Amino acid sequence: MKTLIIKTLISGLLMFSFPSFGQITPKSTAEKFFKEYQTLGVAKSIDNLYASNRWMEFSADAISGLKTQLDGLTLDFVGKFYGYELVKEKKIGENYLFLTYIGRYDRQPIRFDFEFYKPNNSWQIHSFSFDDKFGEDLK
């Protein structure tokens, strides 16, 4: 009887101690993007970002253009990339989430916007963009 109670307690602790183990979240996806952007480069980081959305294969030209634009953030243009920070999070209902990050470069900050959508049980990237406009975020 004592053994059964201990096993039940241990099972319960394990079950509730790691509820998000292996779960892909919008924030973890955005952070993975930035890590891959620094280590694997623009093309691979964007490919991996959009891998969660099977519908993006129909937007290959737009994604290719996005890669070209992000590749334009060179050392000569904006300087070294030092990191990123989350500056805004806006949830619309339970299934749509906007995340805005600032990318810290030598010359200036760059705003990165991620939009995530959860049509059923898992999150997928819906939209990704970047620019140097911060007017909307300061309001």
Contacts of 102 (CB under 8 A, 6+ apart): 84, 85, 87, 109, 110, 111, 112
- Domain borders along the chain are 24-138
pLDDT for residue 1: 46
CB atoms within 10 A of CB 92: 10
Topology of domain 24-138, per CATH?
Nuclear Transport Factor 2; Chain: A, (3.10.450)
pLDDT by 10-residue block (mean), the chain, 139 residues:
40 38 81 93 88 69 80 85 95 95 93 94 90 71
CA angle 60, 64, 65 (to 5 degrees): 120
How much is the pLDDT for 37?
92
Q: What is the number of residues in the chain?
A: 139
